[in-house]
Amino acid sequence: MSNSDTLNRVTGLLVIEVRHSNPNGDPDDEGEPRQIHTGQQKGHGIISGVSYKRKLRDLLEWKEGDVWDILSKELGIADEAHEFQILESRGRDRNKIWDMSGDEFRRCYWDARVFGNTFLESLKEKLKGLSADQRKRELAKHEHFIRTGAAHFPNGVSVAPVEIERMTNTNKAGVEEGKDRGMAPQADRVVQHGVYCMSFFINPTAAKRSGCKLKDIDLLKRLIPYAYTHTASRARSAVEIRHAWYVEHDSPLGSYSDFAILDALTPKKRENPDMPSSSWQEYDVPGKLEGNGITCTDLMAR
């Protein structure tokens, strides 16, 4: 980095192992683990980039938690909590945000700087009833509410198809009156085993537009390893990032093909690639990349 305001292009890959857990339930399918249902990758599992970013937001939003407490002190930003608020938080005051200037908005919300935002889309009601000229003026005044962020997390897909196990749960005390026990048919829906790969990218051009700085990316890098371990739930109790490859190019424009980097870092199932796996040992997992013009780091090697 030449200075604190300069970001280089980054190509990243999260290699995520799932053991008897539901890494990302589909609310449109009764919480079933997400899968691809058509095409050549039919049966492969999916983890949405939206769900992963939600976990990072949750970790940062809880300022009383250990993750913020420890990381903020290590990064020297403990006294700057007001600059690391979460726009996509529940109970936010929409009117207060609407009245913010562009500079104030960018200064307050870490996730808006890093991931972008579509806040204006959710406030279209405010524009109803205005004339075309008035709408145009309001949109120009609040253009900072629609921005692409610096970091992009596409959906992650499992290397091999995944097998889903469904189980019925019972409770000692039934919920229904007159019953001494309760049953929840197929309440547990878990992936028996899977290795998922989720790419991510940092775009310096978008960073300048959203106000994202080096300290925002430094915090993102430190948050990534804790996304699953510190947001674990009963259904998502055994999900772990095995590798978080962070490949920094030597230029804001990029040094190599993103796809070439991702292909080189993606694990391969050694035998029967069209069948679900049962353990991590079934995969050939590439190690650190070496090459001029890039710096490859595993963020999990803390």
Output the pTM of the full model.
0.88
Q: What is the pLDDT of residues 210-241, one digit of tens each?
A: 999 999 999 999 999 999 999 999 999 999 99
Nearest alpha-carbon partner for 6 in 291, 256, 202? 202
Q: What is the pLDDT of residues 20-39, one digit of tens each?
A: 999 999 998 889 999 999 99
Biggest distance spanned by C-alpha atoms of the chain:
71
Whole-angstrom Cα distance, residue 130 to residue 165? Answer: 53
Token pair recorded at residue 253: 């424009």
Q: Which amino acid is at 163?
A: E
Residue 1 has pLDDT above 50, yes or no: no
Q: Using one digit for the tens of pLDDT, what is the confidence trace for 174-186?
A: 555 665 555 445 5
- Residue where the block lists tokens 């055994």: 238
Q: What would the pLDDT profile of 188-203 be if each residue is shown by its tens digit?
A: 899 999 999 999 999 9
Which positions ≥6 away from 47 have C-beta within 8 Å?
A: 16, 23, 24, 34, 155, 156, 196, 198
Q: Report the half-sphere exposure of 151 (CA within 13 A, side-chain side).
A: 28
